[in-house]
A = this chain, B = another copy of it.
Amino acid sequence: MKFSTKGTYGLRAVVELAARYGEGPVSLAAVATEQGISEAYLEQLMRSLKKAGIVKTARGKSGGYLLTREPVRISVLEVLRALEGSTDVVDCVGSGANVCENACTCSARPLFLKLQSRINAVLEETTIGELTEDHIEQKKRIEHARLS
């Protein structure tokens, strides 16, 4: 019941891009350094994000990664799904397939259904834009505290 580092790293990387939204492509190296993630590993995550239509790329010299949309129009759910495959706590709560044959008599399923809907609500209503604003504020506060 843990998110893998893919989710956390990827989320942080997307926020990093969001913080520079509108300023042109950001290189992998820049994001990796800023977030303290291995470049080679981050590249894999970026590939997933690209496939999911969350980031796009500019190739060649002075190229890099960009968000495909405004940060407020990207939900956290979307990012996590791209990286983790799914955010379902058990397979049988997903829509459509994978519902096991005993679903209707499984005593734990009602709990999981309720839990999943609560989780999805939070992940869906939170946007990258929000996360980014909060993060910038937080950084400012720390800077202020350091100087005084």
Total copies of this chain within the assembly:
2
- Within 59-116 of A, Cβ neighbours of B (below 8 Å) are at 76, 80, 84, 86-91, 102, 104-108, 110-112, 114-115
Whether a CB of chain B sits under 8 angstroms from the CB of A32 is no
Count of residues in A whose CB is under 8 Å from the partner chain = 44
Known contacts A3-B1, A119-B119; decide if A139 and B105 are in contact (CB<8 Å): yes
Decide: B131 and A110 in contact? CB cutoff 8 A. yes
Query: Chain A: residues with CB nearer than 8 A to chain B?
Result: 1-4, 7-8, 11-12, 15-16, 36, 76, 80, 84, 86-91, 102, 104-108, 110-112, 114-115, 118-119, 121-123, 126, 131-132, 134-135, 138-139, 142
